[in-house]
Amino acid sequence: MRTLHLLVLCAMVLVMASSAIAQQNVVRLSADERAGDTVALWSGDLSEGATRAFDTAQDLTEGGAIDAFRLDMDQQPAAVAPILTVWSGEGDASIWEWTPYTVSAGSELLIPFHEFVPLEGWGADFANITRVDFAPGVTVSDVLTNLAVQLKGGATLVAESALTLLQNNTDGLANPGEALRYNITITNSGTLNATDVFLTDLPDANVTLVDGLVQTTSGSVVSGNTAGDTSVSVSIPLVGVAPCQPQVVVVRYQVEIDTPFFDVGDEVCDQASLTSPDAPLALTDDPSTLDANDPTCIAVFLAPEAVHTVDQNADGVMALNELLRVIQLYNALEFGCMNGTEDGYAPGGMDNSCTNHDADYLNPNFSIELSELLRQIQFFSLENYYYCPDEVPATEDLFCAAV
């Protein structure tokens, strides 16, 4: 019954607005609560919205001195939710909606930057804006039509988990020791608000949660920001439906791929769950695939510097055929560089202009000694090896055998 009263109240406020959106003549947007320099000036029939694009990114904060938009309209808005959308230089989008509980008595609106809600990415950078859009929003008739559906419907949570790889190099692949950032955008595609939403995530067994970096645009972080936390939990009071409530919540957290990582080529995956007493259980979806409700995954490979020369297929394992190749180079007494071979070297070669072989580490001279060969046999017998330049004490070749 309480929900019904809120919906009816929302509709009553909407009906109080006039219905002449097509007659809206002039909208002026300034990046200043004192109506300073004009950011955009739109006129005419604005029922389909308008755009102001900038050739170069604009600092709407004027170095941090300004923290709000001023929106001036020559008529009392007929739509109940005029929308401003801004894009920053990095492609992030944010949106602020004028909802019934913020209805102004006049046609001037002060819109603080902090009231923008992220649509994509992590919100707009108001010191680096490339485009501003104005849309008249929904009309009274639209809302009243949807209201009848809302009274019969429910809440449906939808969450997309987008992955950003934070690289230590430029190989374009996920490597052990590198960080993965998950941006989860939560919306409500249903017709009723979802209250007491709880997000839970237990990261992949081959990654470690970076504590202290869990963020949310609404609600509070329950776990993930305390040293020793191994899971993420976020409490979100409300994920609403338009136009009466904010309907986008973004949660972000970060993990680090474990070092060593022995299943080279395999994926690390992440999928969070969302619960609410008003909605069915929801799982996050990877927006980069066509599959529905699938985890967000990425394959892990060794960085170029972490691949031992003996390991020709870069799988983190010394195979028998790879060991036999080292024995061949050892028996040749000397070897040199040669393009087109399986490892870029050739027995008896005289060209020493290429990078030294990782097995030739004690006295790099394009000749493998017995102790260096025995080291490769050790890697072979234990199967896995890994790059360990930070090992204390340091190993003789900067690689470690998996014990």
Q: For the segment 89-114, what is each residue's pLDDT rounded down to a tens digit?
A: 766 667 666 554 344 445 677 888 87
pLDDT average, residue stretch 325-333: 95
Supply the pLDDT for residue 139.
58
Supply the pLDDT for residue 4.
43
CA distance 149 to 138: 16
How does residue 11 score in pLDDT terms, banded at 50, 70 and 90?
very low
CB–CB of 294/302 below 8 Å?
no
Domains of the chain (ranges, CATH numbers): 2-145 (no CATH), 154-302 (2.60.40.1510), 307-401 (no CATH)
* Residue 5 pLDDT exceeds 90: no
> pLDDT tens, 277-313?
999 999 999 999 999 899 999 999 999 999 999 999 9
Mean pLDDT of all residues in the chain? 83
pLDDT average, residue stretch 58-81: 76
How does residue 136 score in pLDDT terms, banded at 50, 70 and 90?
confident
Supply the pLDDT for residue 206.
96
CA distance 145 to 21: 17
CA distance 64 to 69: 13
Supply the pLDDT for residue 61.
87
Better-scored residue on pLDDT, 72 or 173 = 173
How does residue 328 score in pLDDT terms, banded at 50, 70 and 90?
very high
Share of the chain above pLDDT 90, in %: 53
* Residue 201 pLDDT exceeds 80: yes
Tell whether pTM > 0.75. no
* Residue 12 pLDDT exceeds 80: no
> pLDDT tens, 226-273?
999 999 999 999 998 876 666 789 999 999 999 999 999 999 999 999
Alpha helices (H) along 332-389: 370-382
CA distance 139 to 246: 17
* Residue 32 pLDDT exceeds 90: no
CA distance 197 to 234: 8
Supply the pLDDT for residue 105.
46
CA distance 119 to 131: 14
The pair of structure tokens assigned to 322 is 């790879």
Element of type H or E holding 4: helix 2-15
The pair of structure tokens assigned to 73 is 């309209």
Better-scored residue on pLDDT, 31 or 393 = 393
The pair of structure tokens assigned to 31 is 């990046």
Share of the chain above pLDDT 70, in %: 80
Supply the pLDDT for residue 90.
66
Alpha helices (H) along 287-385: 320-331, 370-382
> pLDDT tens, 345-373?
999 888 999 999 999 999 999 999 999 99
Better-scored residue on pLDDT, 201 or 63 = 201
Q: Which residues contact 383 (CB under 8 A, 6 or more apart)?
A: 317, 318, 402
